[in-house]
Amino acid sequence: MKLLLTAGLMLLLLSCSQGADSPRGFSLPEGNPAKGELVFRKYQCLACHSLKGFEDDSTEKQLPTPVRLGGNVSQIKTYAELVTSVINPSHKIAQHYVPSMVSDDQGHSKMRNYNDLMTVSELVDLVAFLQPQYQLVPYRRTDYPTFLP
Ligand code: HEC
């Protein structure tokens, strides 16, 4: 019975991921990370974000605590997720933050909307620049001492 339920659930999940709203078939042309860095600076992402190795004090800060981009993650950021973060930031609000810090009363992201400013090429390059900033670290296993006979 339990197995049946699990199987049913999996089918349900599978059919969801194949729906019209699924990221299936989503593909971007290859971006240029060097140009992406220029895009990152042009749109002053550092006003609200921190990114290791790209500190910039000349950008006026807009958040009391910047939202960290890049760094160690336990699950790789796909470019679909990164594109979504930029063009539809409220879709999934960054975790590990006090909600009121990163979103408004209605749960909308405080992130600036770039959809009428950024070209698609800029977006593609930006994502090519951002993605390698994330390093995948596997879940740390608790190491229990092994007792040898
Ligand atoms: C006005 C402040 C602001 C600016 C400017 C801004 N962001 Fe954000 N951004 C946020 C906030 C707040 C969040 C967290 C809420 C959310 O997930 O949308 C966020 C989240 C993100 C995330 C998801 C982070 C995660 O761990 O889930 C990405 C990626 C991102 N921003 C990229 C960018 C890029 C690239 C730019 C520049 C083109 C930019 N942001 C400019 C405020 C900003």
The model's pTM: 0.84
pLDDT digits (tens, 9 = 90+) for 9-39: 555 555 555 688 888 888 889 999 999 999 9
Q: For the chain, what are the domain ranges?
A: 29-136
CA 126–ligand 1 middle distance (angstroms): 13
DSSP for the chain, please give it. -HHHHHHHHHHHHHHHHTSTTS-TT---PPP-HHHHHHHHHHTTGGGTEEETT---TTSPP-SSSPEEESEEESSPPPHHHHHHHHHSGGGS--SSS-HHHHB-TTS-B-SPP-TTTS-HHHHHHHHHHHGGGEEE-PPPPP-PPP---
User: What dotted CATH number matches 29-136?
Assistant: 1.10.760.10
Contact 92, 84 (CB under 8 A): yes
Among 2-11, 61-70, 83-92, name the one with the lowest average pLDDT. Answer: 2-11
Region 89-113 average pLDDT: 90
Name the residue at shortest CA distance from atom 36 of ligand 1. Answer: 45
Q: Which atom of ligand 1 is nearest to the CA of 114?
A: 38
Contact 66, 49 (CB under 8 A): yes
Which of 38, 44, 49, 124 maximizes ligand 1 atoms within 8 Å of its Cβ, making it the mutation to test the pocket? 49
Residues having CB closer than 6 A to ligand 1 are 40, 43, 45, 47-49, 62-63, 67, 69, 82, 85-86, 89, 93-94, 102, 109-112, 114, 126
Residue 134's pLDDT is 94
pLDDT digits (tens, 9 = 90+) for 108-130: 999 999 999 999 999 999 999 99
Six-digit token string for 64: 């009391």
CA 22–ligand 1 middle distance (angstroms): 22
Q: Which atom of ligand 1 is nearest to the CA of 90?
A: 18
